[in-house]
Amino acid sequence: MTKLKLYEYPHPILKKKAEKVVEVNDDLRKLLDDMLETMYASNGCGLAAPQIGLSKRIVVIDIAGEGKEPNPLYMVNPEIIWSSEEKEISEEGCLSVPGQRAEVERPAVVRIRYLDYDGKEQEMLAEEFLAVAAQHEIDHLDGVLYIDHLSRLKRQMLLKKLEKYRKEHNGK
Ligand code: NI
The per-residue DSSP string of 6-29 comes to PP-TT-GGGGSPPBPPS---HHHH
Cα 13 from Cα 135, distance rounded (Å):
19
Alpha-carbon torsion, ordered 79, 84, 88, 92, to 10 deg: 0
- Ligand 1 centroid to Cα of residue 34, in Å, is 17
Give residue 109's identity as a one-letter amino acid code: V
In this predicted model, what pLDDT tens digit does every residue of 4-60 receive, in sequence order?
999 999 999 999 999 999 999 999 999 999 999 999 999 999 999 999 999 999 999
* Residue 92 φ then ψ, to 5°: -125, 155
Ligand 1 geometric centre to CA of 53 (Å): 13
What average pLDDT does the segment 162-169 reach? 96
pTM of the prediction? 0.96
**All domains in the chain, ordered by first residue:** 12-170 (3.90.45.10)
Q: How far is the CA of 7 from the centre of ligand 1 (A)?
A: 10
